[in-house]
Chains A and B, each alone.
Chain A
Amino acid sequence: MRFWEKMQGIDRRVIFTLIFASVIVPTLWPLHLPTAITPETQAFFNAIDSLPPGARVMLPFDVWPSTLAETEPMAVAALRHCFKKNLRVIGLSNVAMGGPSIADRILKRIGDEFGKTYGIDYVNLGYKANYQAVLLGMGSKIADIFPTDHHGTRLDSLPLMREVPNYDSVRFILIVSDNAMVDYWVSLVNARFGTPMGAGVTAVMAPKQLSYIQAGQLHGLLGGMKGAAEYESLIGYVDKANRGMDSQSLIHLLIIGFIVLGNVGHFVVRRTKGRGGQI
């Protein structure tokens, strides 16, 4: 019984070391485990895949830098899918801290990868304060809300934006978010203007968004790193999300192991104490 008693008081640095190893080992030596595709990811893929070449999509990067490990792979995969299909992308952000810079970096990197031209194939509108007014205002006239893009260029001098006065010219909105912005996109934009949309969100947010899927307000959902990994597999660009899933797999197993071990130890110690035995 001393073993279980010792296990109950295990130094947390041991737990931290095991977690650290579970992240590092599969990062260095990937396991290449296949990920099962969920219906929500398949629906997201189908929604983008069914758009005709040249169609205009909006990609809000409503993310903070803290969740980039989860959200960047899904934004990258969505952009690759869009550019592969020759869709034209309007990026923006409703998160002041980092959102526009993240959008700029990812749009440029994937745009260059596919030989796309800024202003014609994609733009970055940047950030504007007061997201509720921004979301509703773009339904009337985008140029009223964003007179210039992220770089200070007037919208009327960007060929792509001359064709997009408001949501009526946008075929689909792919929201990448780590906060409550999806709720606002659904309740303000989908409800009032009827623009179809799908979302890529962090794993902890995904259960809430499933209710929008069932209500038909979202046409697809990427839930956390698993959703991003599934999407990467669907578009044929296996990248960071699939590598991340190896680490996530080990960590999940480790946490389950901790839960089982903690419970067994707890009940063994309690039963022995209850009998008045020595532990």
Chain B
Amino acid sequence: MVLAFFVRGPIVDRVSDEALRGQTIVGGIALLLGVFSISQVHWRRIASGHADRGYSAILLVCLVAMAGFGTVQGVEAGGVFDWLFERLQAPMMATMFSMLAFFIASAAYRAFRARTITSAILLLTAVIVMLGRIPMGQYVYDGLPAWTNWIMTVPSVAVQRGIIIGAALGAASISLRVLLGIERSYLGRG
């Protein structure tokens, strides 16, 4: 599969395709394994009378309901699965995410302090970017969107690129260690 990134030809493509097909099947089985595992964990919690058994029961009921309606009736618009997703799951997830705005505002007021030069630079940069990303920013100062764009495309990208390259090198080296048998911690050994 790695070779297929650099060389294209009937043999390489065929071997790569077969490996991918196998990977897709393993992925599907892993999903089933995940469902089985989560069901087992929460069933044990209910059976042992754990303090949070109520939440476990809700999880199992929801799991069975969504999977049941999705399998029996399908996931088409107008069905029960779709109704549960659109009316319950999506609004609940959106609500959880929306609450971030409240906590960020509260944290900004209480914790974001210019105690040192570096934190003052961070604070100033944040203010410029926040102002430059909104329509009102250009009314405050015409050049703010350009300043924001410079911050985001030059210093920020430089750091991001460093992180990406670092993470890629780390992933490559750990993969190599696993392939060569040097890294065995995933087998429960040091």
Q: A104-B77, A134-B24, A211-B160 are in contact. Are A252 and B134 (CB under 8 A)?
A: yes
Can you give 9 A-B contacts (C-beta < 8 A)?
A129-B24, A130-B27, A130-B28, A192-B5, A210-B157, A211-B164, A252-B130, A258-B105, A259-B126
Contact A65 B106 (CB under 8 A): no
Q: Flag B7-38 by CB within 8 Å of A: 1 or 0 each.
A: 00000010011001101101110110000000
For residue A226, which residue of chain B has the nearest CB? B133
Contact of A27 with B by CB under 8 A: no
Q: How large is the interface on A (under 10, 10 to 19, 20 to 34, 35 or more residues)?
A: 35 or more
Q: Measured between alpha carbons, how far is A69 from B164 in the docked complex, in Å?
A: 28
Residues in A whose Cβ lies below 8 Å from that of B96: 66
Taking a contact as CB atoms closer than 8 A, the residue among B27, B75, B164 that contacts A208 in the complex is B164
Pairs A-B, 6 closest by C-beta atoms: A130-B27, A33-B135, A65-B90, A66-B97, A66-B93, A258-B109
Q: Flag A15-59 by CB within 8 Å of B: 1 or 0 each.
A: 110111001000000000111101100000000000000000000
Taking a contact as CB atoms closer than 8 A, the residue among A133, A203, A211 that contacts B27 in the complex is A133
Contact of B178 with A by CB under 8 A: no
Q: A36-B135, A137-B17, A252-B130 are in contact. Are A101 and B27 (CB under 8 A)?
A: no
For window 71-110 of B, CB contacts with A under 8 Å fall at 74-77, 82, 85-86, 89-90, 93-94, 96-98, 101-102, 104-106, 108-110
B interface majority secondary structure: helix
Contact A263 B13 (CB under 8 A): no
Contact B136 A19 (CB under 8 A): no
Q: How large is the interface on B (under 10, 10 to 19, 20 to 34, 35 or more residues)?
A: 35 or more
For residue B136, which residue of chain A has the nearest CB? A249
Contact of A235 with B by CB under 8 A: no
Contact of B173 with A by CB under 8 A: no
For window 111-150 of B, CB contacts with A under 8 Å fall at 112-114, 123, 126-127, 130-131, 133-136, 138, 145, 149
Contact B112 A259 (CB under 8 A): yes
Residues in B whose Cβ lies below 8 Å from that of A108: 77
For window 213-259 of A, CB contacts with B under 8 Å fall at 214, 224, 226, 245, 248-249, 251-256, 258-259
Contact of A67 with B by CB under 8 A: yes
Q: How many A-B residue pairs have CB under 8 A?
A: 167
Contact of A115 with B by CB under 8 A: no
Contact B23 A130 (CB under 8 A): yes
Residues in A whose Cβ lies below 8 Å from that of B4: 136, 192
Contact of B48 with A by CB under 8 A: no
Residues in B whose Cβ lies below 8 Å from that of A266: 113
For window 88-130 of A, CB contacts with B under 8 Å fall at 96-98, 100-101, 104-105, 108, 128-130
CB distance from B107 to the nearest CB of A (A): 9
Q: A66-B96, A132-B23 are in contact. Are A255 and B108 (CB under 8 A)?
A: yes
CB distance from B125 to the nearest CB of A (A): 12
Contact of B161 with A by CB under 8 A: yes
CB distance from A27 to the nearest CB of B (A): 13
Contact of B175 with A by CB under 8 A: no
Contact of B152 with A by CB under 8 A: yes
Segment from A74-82, A144-152, A169-177 that makes contact with B: A144-152
For residue B82, which residue of chain A has the nearest CB? A101
Q: Measured between alpha carbons, how far is A245 from B130 in the docked complex, in Å?
A: 12
Contact of B64 with A by CB under 8 A: no
For residue A192, which residue of chain B has the nearest CB? B5
Residues in B whose Cβ lies below 8 Å from that of A64: 93
Q: Measured between alpha carbons, how far is A101 from B9 in the docked complex, in Å?
A: 37
Contact B133 A19 (CB under 8 A): no
